[in-house]
Every structure is written in C-alpha cells, then in structure tokens.
Amino acid sequence: MREHLILLPGWAIGPAALEPLRDALVERAPHLRVEIEPLPGLEQAGTWLDALDERLPRDTWLAGWSLGGMLAAQLAARRGDACRGLIGLCSNLSFRAREDWPSAMPHDVFTAFHEACRLDPAQTLKRFSLLVAQGARDARTLARQLQVTQPSVDPKTLDAGLRLLDVLDTRAALQGFSGPQLHLFAGRDALVPVTAADALLEWLPDIELQVFPEASHGLPLETPDEVAEAILVFMREGDDV
C-alpha cells in the first residue's frame, strides 16, 4: 500500500508555507503520498481535535508544525495503531511555560501576545511572521514568504488557536503513543526554546530527535530539503517508504 503522510501547519500559517517541504518529500520519494491539511477554522477551541479526526484519513503518518504538531500528537495518541508514526516540527510539549515545564514561552509573554492579537489581529500577524523568521539565515526573505502565504483567518479562529496553545500539554499523548516518533527542533527558534529538545529527550528518551542549530521556528519553510531528508530517513527506519 502506498505510504501516506499528512502535514499540518501551525497557528496562523497557511498550507502554502508547507508546499516546499511537500515538494522536497515527493521529489525524494515519488511513491509517497503527501497531503497538506489546514487546521480547523473553528471558533470553539475544544472542537479542533474532533474536527481533524473526522476529516483526516486513518493509517497515515502524521506530521505537524508547532500547533499542528501538538494536535498531531493528540490525534496520534487517540488513533493508536491507526497512526503509522508521529513527526513534530518545532513543536513543544507545552507552548507556554508551566511550573513543571519551564522550557517554553514565558507565561506573561504569551498572555501579552494573546491580548495584542485580540486588539489588533493584523498587526499581530505581521509581528508573528517576524518572530517565526527570527534567527533564520535570511530572516527578511523568510518573513516575506510567510506573509505572502499567510491565509485570511477570522479573528475568532485566531483567538481559538491561541486558547489551544495556552492549554495544550501533549506529554500524556506522547507518552501514550506507542508508534515511532521524530521531533525536529531549531537552534535559533524565537518561539520554542531549543532547551525544549533536551527536556523532551530527558523525559522521553526512546523517541528520535534532531536539532537544526542554525535554523529558526520557520524550519520547514527555511530548510525544506534537510527536513525532508530527516523525515524520510525516519520513515524508512519505521517502514520502507
């Protein structure tokens, strides 16, 4: 059966931003079916996972960028053997810091960003693209790419996504999923500190993990060829692609 990989983007990131990664994957593995699925455009944060579970096919590999990776982790845990494997791209176990998970965005910084998005969504999205690109080798070009591919999203949907980022904690999901896992992090990530990689490996030592030291939070768009190679090596180890 033809292998199938689903890619989920992050908060306020359009599917088009993952097209270079999809193209790099298909170029290297033409018989791999790769689909990019947008996150739910729903105002009720608590319904996003159910919406993805209803829409996405089963018996696939699940990969997600940031918030997309956190949702993919929850979906993988829910599906169990019906998920071939999980791949996180710059995806923390908890996006904002908690007392027992400090390797994340400080709570006051996240709260201020959330409030700014409620007051001025358009300006906040511009700032967000700059944060995603911060640390990249060519941050200005990467930020422009993100802005060009950024979809028009209802402010209520943006708020729902941020509410998810505020409460999601995927530790139980990752621990409960028995399939193969790969987690990719970026050394210059301005949104997910690279210390989260060490914390994850210490907490769950059996997973596979790789850090791209010179990359930003925009890792899948910034270095699609390197990310594609890492994903395909991982998939081949779990099952011939």
Domain containing 128 equals: 4-238
pLDDT value at residue 241: 43
Per-residue confidence in pLDDT tens, the chain, 241 aa: 469 999 999 999 999 999 999 999 999 999 999 999 999 988 898 899 999 999 999 999 999 999 999 999 999 999 999 999 999 999 999 999 999 999 999 999 999 999 999 999 999 999 999 999 999 999 999 999 999 999 888 999 999 999 999 999 999 999 999 999 999 999 999 999 999 999 999 999 999 999 999 999 999 999 999 999 999 999 998 664 4
CATH number at residue 17: 3.40.50.1820
The whole-angstrom separation of Cα 89 and Cα 3 is 20
The whole-angstrom separation of Cα 56 and Cα 62 is 10
**Helix, strand or coil for residue 235?**
helix
Q: How many domains does the chain have?
A: 1
Catalytically annotated residues: 66, 189, 217
Q: What's the mean pLDDT when you consider all of the chain?
A: 95
The answer to whether the CB of 11 falls within 8 A of the CB of 40 is no
* Vertex 152: Cα angle to 158 and 106 (nearest 5): 30
> Can you state the percent helix, strand and coil of the chain, rounding each to 5?
50, 15, 35
Kindly compute the dihedral angle of the four CA atoms of residues 87, 196, 112, 66, in this order, to the nearest 10 degrees: -10
pLDDT digits (tens, 9 = 90+) for 18-50: 999 999 999 999 999 999 999 998 889 889 999
